[in-house]
Structure 1
Amino acid sequence: MKLVDIYYRMKKDINEIEKELSRAITTDQGILNQSANHLLKAGGKRIRPVFVLLSGHFGEYDFDKLKKVAAALELIHMATLVHDDVIDDADKRRGKLTVKAQWDNKIAMYTGDYIFAEALMLITEFENPEIHQTLSNAIVRMCEGEIEQIKDFNNWNQSLKQYLRRIKRKTALLIAISCKLGGLASNADLKTVRRLYQYGYNVGMAFQIVDDILDFTGTTEQLGKPAGSDLRQGNITIPALYALHYSNDKEKLQRMVKSDHLQEQMDEMVDIVRKSEGIDYSKELAQTYIQKAKKALMELPNIKERKTLLEISDFIADRTY
């Protein structure tokens, strides 16, 4: 099963989410309207809205309510991408110019802020305080994760625990609350909401680990950027950390890390990591989280959406781009 097959089954609802996203970011301010829509037209997996909608079926499903939650979470994700591109000085995303490259850093930062604010406007339509508390807490933790990533740039002494804490806050949390808020907005019972969160958290962890693997193993065409881009920017992920300490070429890699000519050796470093045992170790770690996600799923009611969530977890574990 491919994600595109799941999207096809949900095509009508996803198209409505796209319309909701477009409505949310449309503004009379010319440049802001252009920059926000530039990002929207670049597309994306829209996996967070999918999680919201599927999770809503475990309660009292109401698409008109759920589409607001789904759009809000996707807007938050989009806002973080605009800000990330400024921090990373990235010119391309998904093979297209970033907002920062098309305009400049100032326009990009305010575009991200604007999209973020529009997300919060959508959520104000809900009275349930737990929805607001969950979202607010996640945003705080996400910001902490971004700061930790900046702090750990070029830090080859970081531990596995540091890496896992960082990706939890950077990626897994937003996926986890996509599942949780889908349940909360549908008035699902507390136990179900908790299981949805556990599923989303573990799938989110696996999603980011696989992303970090693909950064080394994917092609420029697949990634929309050169292989090893994270490492080149100083973001050291689990495949590289494992290679540094346990690969057959660990001593060579350790010498490179301590060298004053790190950037000149980057192509060779990326190649060492790509061919190292770090890739297989990272795949096994991702699979561990996938199994935990499936365990949480098995404690949910046996409806067809549970099967779809299971299919998504398998797609995430096996994806190649």
Structure 2
Amino acid sequence: MEFHEIYLLYRHELDRVERLLDERAHADHVDLAKAGRTLLEAGGKRIRPLFALICGLGEREWSEDVAKIAAALEMIHMATLVHDDVIDRADLRRGKPTVRKSYGNLAAMYTGDYLFARAIQLLAEVDNLEVHRLMARGIVLLCEGEIEQIEDFYNWSQGVMTYLRRIHRKTALLISLSCQLGAMVGGAPEREVAALARFGHAVGMAFQIVDDLLDFTGAAEIVGKPVGGDLRQGNLTLPALLAASRPGFGERLRALVREGMREEEAEEAIRLVVASGALADAERLAERYLEKSRHLLQAVNRETVREQLMGLTSFIIRRQY
């Protein structure tokens, strides 16, 4: 099943989640309201809500609790994006000015905090203690991942395992929670909930690796942000770390990517990463994570859910944005 087909199947459910986001992200304060509107209008793939809806509904009837889980997870994701843009000093997100660009760093930080608070407020309406326990633990790990990323800017001594631990916390965790909590609130059996949590983690790891590949290979007008943005900011992702281990590339790359590097040095560094062959190795790792995710789907008894999740995994490796 193709990605656009799956989106069409859940169009009405996603519209209801979008209305929840619009309602709950609203603020009486003028600047907060404008900043929240900027985020919502920027859109996004709504991958996390879609995973939650598929795992929580699938062959079942509509559930307001599943919708609340989906919307809360997306608000948490939106909050992390606002904070990331401040840390990265980013001016563009999805091809549009970031909240920090439009309203300043202080307003952006408080917008992110506000979205976190509104997400927790929405989750409080779901009467399931385990949901709250898992989400609280997830937010803690997410914050730790953000701090680790800041600490490792321009740090060439970090290894691939450090990178994998970081993207587990920053990206894979929320996708795993989307699948796990959606299935849990939707009434799936424990064995299936556990399998979907592991599936979401594997898919989330692949999703972030592909995102980091697109930072080097994607067209800026499609990706919605400048090519090589991570490297320019000192965020050393998998392609850069792999390239740095290659003879003939690593020494020059490490010398180029440092605080205060000039634009021409950044451009040379991007060319080195591409020429090193590291992108192909990173793509193979993403494919291995996706293969693992497909294997985990064997534990899901609902055929419709298996088919739809398989379609999403295929989209992730082929996506251009």
**1:85-129 deviation line (CA, Å, top 9, x unaligned):** 111111110111111111111111111111111111111112211
**1:62-84 deviation line (CA, Å, top 9, x unaligned):** 42221111100000001111111
Residues 250, 30 of structure 1: CA spacing in aligned structure 2 closer, same or farther, 3 A cutoff? closer
Please give the residue correspondences for 1:146-295 in structure 2 after superposition, counting only pairs within 5 Å: 146-246=146-246, 248-257=248-257, 264-295=264-295
Residues 29, 254 of structure 1: CA spacing in aligned structure 2 closer, same or farther, 3 A cutoff? closer
Rounded to whole Å, the distance in 1 between the matches of 2:118 and 2:232 is 33
CA contact (8 A) 1:62 1:186 kept: no
Q: CA deviation at 1:248?
A: 4.8
CA contact (8 A) 1:53 1:70 kept: yes
Rounded to whole Å, the distance in 2 between the matches of 1:261 and 1:75 is 35
Q: CA deviation at 1:37?
A: 1.1
CA contact (8 A) 2:21 2:75 kept: yes
- Which AA in structure 2 matches 1:218? G
Q: Which residue of 2 aligns with 1:301?
A: 301
Normalised by the length of structure 2, the TM-score is 0.95
Rounded to whole Å, the distance in 2 between the matches of 1:116 and 1:254 is 36
- Which AA in structure 1 matches 2:178? S
Rounded to whole Å, the distance in 1 between the matches of 2:38 and 2:261 is 38
Rounded to whole Å, the distance in 1 between the matches of 2:69 and 2:80 is 17
CA contact (8 A) 2:172 2:200 kept: yes
Residues 314, 31 of structure 1: CA spacing in aligned structure 2 closer, same or farther, 3 A cutoff? same
Q: CA deviation at 1:287?
A: 0.6
CA contact (8 A) 1:53 1:63 kept: no
- Which AA in structure 1 matches 2:195? R
Q: CA deviation at 1:254?
A: 4.2
CA contact (8 A) 2:154 2:258 kept: no
Q: CA deviation at 1:269?
A: 0.6
Worse-matched range after superposition: 310-319 or 263-272: 263-272
CA contact (8 A) 1:58 1:188 kept: no
Residues 95, 258 of structure 1: CA spacing in aligned structure 2 closer, same or farther, 3 A cutoff? closer
Rounded to whole Å, the distance in 2 between the matches of 1:58 and 1:260 is 50
Q: Which residue of 1 aligns with 2:108?
A: 108
- Which AA in structure 1 matches 2:130? E
CA contact (8 A) 2:58 2:304 kept: no
SS in 2 for 1:44: coil
- Which structure 2 segments of 5+ residues have no match? none
Worse-matched range after superposition: 60-69 or 123-132: 60-69
Residues 259, 45 of structure 1: CA spacing in aligned structure 2 closer, same or farther, 3 A cutoff? closer
Q: Which residue of 2 aligns with 1:43?
A: 43
Q: Which residue of 2 aligns with 1:120?
A: 120
**1:19-48 deviation line (CA, Å, top 9, x unaligned):** 110011122222211111111111001000
Number of aligned pairs?
321
Rounded to whole Å, the distance in 1 between the matches of 2:129 and 2:180 is 14
Q: Which residue of 2 aligns with 1:14?
A: 14
- Which AA in structure 2 matches 1:187? G
Q: Which residue of 2 aligns with 1:90?
A: 90
CA contact (8 A) 2:220 2:226 kept: yes
- Which AA in structure 2 matches 1:219? A
CA contact (8 A) 2:210 2:316 kept: yes
Q: CA deviation at 1:231?
A: 0.4
Q: Which residue of 2 aligns with 1:133?
A: 133
- Which structure 1 segments of 5+ residues have no match? none
SS in 2 for 1:15: helix
Residues 19, 245 of structure 1: CA spacing in aligned structure 2 closer, same or farther, 3 A cutoff? same
Residues 259, 73 of structure 1: CA spacing in aligned structure 2 closer, same or farther, 3 A cutoff? closer
Rounded to whole Å, the distance in 1 between the matches of 2:319 and 2:187 is 33
- Which AA in structure 2 matches 1:204? G
CA contact (8 A) 1:55 1:183 kept: yes
CA contact (8 A) 2:191 2:299 kept: no
Rounded to whole Å, the distance in 1 between the matches of 2:142 and 2:260 is 33
Normalised by the length of structure 1, the TM-score is 0.95
